[in-house]
Structure 1
């Protein structure tokens, strides 16, 4: 964790400190406002106890809850407030007004300041929390008297140079009426609850921060027994870790479709298909393979319980149970079933990211992400999924997501997150002759030489088996039709080979006949040529004799 700037005091809530560019303004008062259940007390206790753990003692002034209740709250979030009190590092002042008494305006707050000053000096505190300050409104007869007293208290706080966090409820215009936001507080943080589709989401916004920049967007945050967790919308940049290492999917045929060695580590894979096409089985195969390599896997199931998932995948040879045994820190497989309808999208995002940061897995499985979109409208699901995928990629973690496609979807994804997907595997059913077969296609795989062929896959007790399709004279065949077509083609091939052998024999015989005929014809041609040559020779001889006779007669006459 980076060291905060010297003019800030870290709250101990990483996302909030990011929004505040390091933390609350040091030595100055800040205001935290929000209605019941928005998380004011938890943020205050976290700020105070985190400071104590960092060596800055604290004082908590409560105008609403009892000290005992606050100590229990702190213990529920893992802070040992009782031990801090025993060690003299924390003091809680009970300033709850007594409704049965009428307090003088000036004297009441003078006594409060005196008690706070004593507590601050006694503990040497650098941090102060004033919880539920708006409760004082009922103890004053006029707004003017309370306003002047509050101004005096805050002037005194600035002089004490103590980092102070004041909380108020959402009473109508309380902070505006008394000038707390405009004049008193150097930093104002607003909390609220948003209800959408009957699901509540807590939101935080930094309204102002004097002397420094800050995030301005409303940021969802998670509040449960583990404390406050938030991921600022503006808190991510394009800095994903890139690896050249290839990892096996656990399915040899799929590895072959992805260039022979599987996808790159840190990639995001999407298996999309209709019901029954094997999406979960593909994801489970990758899970089992990663566990066998000794890597940690976080498997988040939105539809199946742990027992269902373990039982169902045993049929294809994936023994997930043995990877879930032992202490959580030593387990290779962390199975987290979460019903998609139980919480809002932002809470899903934060719970997933918190689990990732806690367990530091090498592989994250989200099965199926389409469950998050079933009851949503607009772009909220897409925005959440894009942020989630991006955050996982930034951490260099391999992610596997499955998507259920409707039967009438024509194989088209409606999540519209393909821009963030590195490897997209599409699964589909092929129904013919009363039989259903499963087909797999590598739609895309960034940086990999993928197969363009549609292949068939089937389940076996030793895992998933991907086979090349059978392509015969009559086209492509799958399943039992593939075997029948292959048998028919083998018989046809055998028959054709026999016919080819007979045809070749006939051709050899014909070649021999032709050769014999050619030899005979050649002999006849040779014989005729000899006779002609003899005839020519005889004629030439006779002509020569006649010529000699004539020459002799001519010489005798001379």
Structure 2
């Protein structure tokens, strides 16, 4: 026998097989949950039933309400069939998550059918009369021209059937009826006594199956979603943690991050001129990730707050997530070094007087699971669209767990923020026994890495700062001194004297000693110059005396020569005269 279906618009009869084939070729139907639609590669299969299973508290009804209200907000109409909760309770749930379900109901765009089993009213013999239920649902779909349908907690029908084969056959009938109607349907079931497995809903009946679970680790619960199957289309197969709170459902796919970060040549000042100079003169690039690593008390938070102040002064919005200090503590503590965060703090995130808004969100690191922290941060980034995100300290998340998942979570968090084109500043607390080695193992994604450390000498502690790396920037390779005072934050060049590098007050003492040494050396140098001059004068006098003696001796010799020559000449004349006389 050929099964047929009737459309709401013209009551024409269409073969069910053709209707099923037509619905398969349609575009997926968006659920309104961005991450889930990404995993489903578009949304739920159009015109076909999807099974959503999970234990109590996993978020089945909230996902169903999101699916319906998203469609209604887009101009569609929908029917919600409940087999468990009262319609009034469902409306209350919807309002709690911000869905205007009562308004949709009053406007005739939403209809809620109460199908909770009542053995005193809806049974024939010993079983529920399913034909009447489907007739009511079909009438509601036709009346509204609804394109979306939710059957919530269909496992509640189990109490109305005496044996398994009967219920399994009826459920198969329900799924076939949905396909014949070509309505996009979400069916929720619980995990009690393996309901969906026993009745073959996953293996044989449903076209798409989504499983919800709750995982508890270290007494912290995380909700997880996984698409078990989806006929006729590809889908993500990983387990995806998701967030469920008053903001609704928020899901970040495990495979949703890709290397597609936005690149900018613009720079963001650190608010500390000396540190800007160490980073090429203008600070790091916008959209980059800066990690401030250091021991307790080295000034990591203060530098992060300096980043925040500089961004706000430039008219940029800042999201500051503190995992250790409360809002009031952070504002009070930073005021002591001249940073007035309260001037920029805005609970609504709106800029005032040309100053960027600072949104402070304190949260305890141990309060939530790692994945839930990740989703809350990403949701805040996407809601507020800040130019700068500060995570202080990010080691409060990843550092409190030795699970390798912690590192993966942190990498995902940083990748996802970077994909949004947002500048990130994260602080990392290093232990006193760490020897300055980071245990986060995320240096591969870090663009700028700044290390701070304590230097203790002669009963004094000084702070030192160095730039380990800064991609694409000319950087200083010096270890400089970092000073914090009521006048603010300063980077001081190291003092290199005759005996080496010194910091702090020792710098002043060493500088005074060096100045005394320099003065003494100048005196000794002057004395040496004077002695040198005297020696030159003595040498010149000796040279003059020697020249005089030489001249005297030379004149004497010249006289002797002249005398001898005269005597010889006289003798020669005498001899010549005698010779002439003899002749």
Where on the TM-score scale, by shorter chain, does this alignment land: which range? Answer: over 0.9
Alignment pair present for 1:420 and 2:445:
yes
Alignment pair present for 1:396 and 2:425:
no
CA distance in 1 between counterparts of 2:410 and 2:562 reads 106
2:54 to 18, 27, 34: 34
Tell me the secondary structure at the aligned position of residue 491 of structure 1.
helix
CA distance in 1 between counterparts of 2:286 and 2:395 reads 24
Query: Which residue number in structure 1 is paired with residue 156 of structure 2?
Result: 135
1:263 to 284, 303, 310: 284
> CA shift at 1:487, angstroms?
1.1
CA distance in 2 between counterparts of 1:242 and 1:554 reads 123
Alignment pair present for 1:467 and 2:492:
yes
Of 458-467 and 90-99, deviating more is 458-467
Query: Which residue number in structure 1 is paired with residue 359 of structure 2?
Result: 334
Provide Cα deviations, 1:202-255, integer angstroms capped at 9, x if missing partner: 000000111111110000000000000011010011111121222210111111
CA distance in 1 between counterparts of 2:49 and 2:580 reads 158
For residues 516 and 80 of structure 1, do their structure 2 counterparts lie closer, same or farther at Cα, with a shift above 3 Å needed?
Answer: same
Alignment pair present for 1:320 and 2:320:
no
CA distance in 1 between counterparts of 2:398 and 2:309 reads 27
> CA shift at 1:449, angstroms?
2.1
Query: Which residue number in structure 2 is paired with residue 485 of structure 1?
Result: 510
CA distance in 2 between counterparts of 1:116 and 1:427 reads 67
Residue pairs, 1:11-410, within 5 angstroms = 11-100=31-120, 103-104=123-124, 108-325=129-346, 327-330=348-351, 332-410=357-435
For residues 525 and 299 of structure 1, do their structure 2 counterparts lie closer, same or farther at Cα, with a shift above 3 Å needed?
Answer: same
CA distance in 2 between counterparts of 1:545 and 1:268 reads 113
Query: Which residue number in structure 2 is paired with residue 521 of structure 1?
Result: 546
> CA shift at 1:469, angstroms?
1.7
Query: Which residue number in structure 1 is paired with residue 7 of structure 2?
Result: none
CA distance in 2 between counterparts of 1:497 and 1:183 reads 99
For residues 108 and 532 of structure 1, do their structure 2 counterparts lie closer, same or farther at Cα, with a shift above 3 Å needed?
Answer: farther
CA distance in 2 between counterparts of 1:549 and 1:396 reads 124
> CA shift at 1:494, angstroms?
1.1
Tell me the secondary structure at the aligned position of residue 483 of structure 1.
helix
CA distance in 2 between counterparts of 1:284 and 1:394 reads 23
Is the contact made by 1:285 and 1:463 (CA closer than 8 Å) also made in structure 2?
no
For residues 247 and 551 of structure 1, do their structure 2 counterparts lie closer, same or farther at Cα, with a shift above 3 Å needed?
Answer: farther
CA distance in 1 between counterparts of 2:547 and 2:206 reads 122
For residues 517 and 142 of structure 1, do their structure 2 counterparts lie closer, same or farther at Cα, with a shift above 3 Å needed?
Answer: same
Provide Cα deviations, 1:304-324, integer angstroms capped at 9, x if missing partner: 110000001101110111111
Tell me the secondary structure at the aligned position of residue 419 of structure 1.
coil
Provide Cα deviations, 1:398-432, integer angstroms capped at 9, x if missing partner: 11111111112222211212222111111111222
Give TM-score, length-normalised by structure 2.
Answer: 0.90
Of 457-466 and 204-213, deviating more is 457-466
For residues 495 and 47 of structure 1, do their structure 2 counterparts lie closer, same or farther at Cα, with a shift above 3 Å needed?
Answer: same
Query: Which residue number in structure 1 is paired with residue 482 of structure 2?
Result: 457
Of 498-507 and 123-132, deviating more is 498-507
> CA shift at 1:516, angstroms?
2.4
Is the contact made by 2:128 and 2:160 (CA closer than 8 Å) also made in structure 1?
no
RMSD over equivalenced CA pairs, Å: 2.4
Is the contact made by 1:102 and 1:139 (CA closer than 8 Å) also made in structure 2?
no
CA distance in 1 between counterparts of 2:255 and 2:285 reads 28
Provide Cα deviations, 1:511-556, integer angstroms capped at 9, x if missing partner: 1221222233234334545555666677678878989999999999
Of 210-219 and 486-495, deviating more is 486-495
CA distance in 1 between counterparts of 2:305 and 2:297 reads 14
Tell me the secondary structure at the aligned position of residue 18 of structure 1.
helix
CA distance in 2 between counterparts of 1:555 and 1:242 reads 124
Is the contact made by 1:329 and 1:359 (CA closer than 8 Å) also made in structure 2?
no
Tell me the secondary structure at the aligned position of residue 214 of structure 1.
coil
CA distance in 2 between counterparts of 1:551 and 1:398 reads 121
CA distance in 1 between counterparts of 2:215 and 2:94 reads 25
Unaligned runs of 5+ in 1: none
Query: Which residue number in structure 1 is paired with residue 13 of structure 2?
Result: none
Of 416-425 and 535-544, deviating more is 535-544
> CA shift at 1:192, angstroms?
0.3
Is the contact made by 1:106 and 1:149 (CA closer than 8 Å) also made in structure 2?
no
Provide Cα deviations, 1:72-112, integer angstroms capped at 9, x if missing partner: 11111111111111111111111000044572378711011
CA distance in 2 between counterparts of 1:473 and 1:322 reads 46
CA distance in 2 between counterparts of 1:547 and 1:216 reads 138
For residues 147 and 535 of structure 1, do their structure 2 counterparts lie closer, same or farther at Cα, with a shift above 3 Å needed?
Answer: same
CA distance in 2 between counterparts of 1:329 and 1:284 reads 19
CA distance in 1 between counterparts of 2:107 and 2:577 reads 162
For residues 520 and 140 of structure 1, do their structure 2 counterparts lie closer, same or farther at Cα, with a shift above 3 Å needed?
Answer: same
CA distance in 1 between counterparts of 2:79 and 2:566 reads 149
Unaligned runs of 5+ in 2: 1-24
For residues 33 and 509 of structure 1, do their structure 2 counterparts lie closer, same or farther at Cα, with a shift above 3 Å needed?
Answer: same
Give TM-score, length-normalised by structure 1.
Answer: 0.94
Tell me the secondary structure at the aligned position of residue 413 of structure 2.
helix
Residue pairs, 1:541-556, within 5 angstroms = none
Is the contact made by 1:369 and 1:402 (CA closer than 8 Å) also made in structure 2?
yes
Of 58-67 and 501-510, deviating more is 501-510
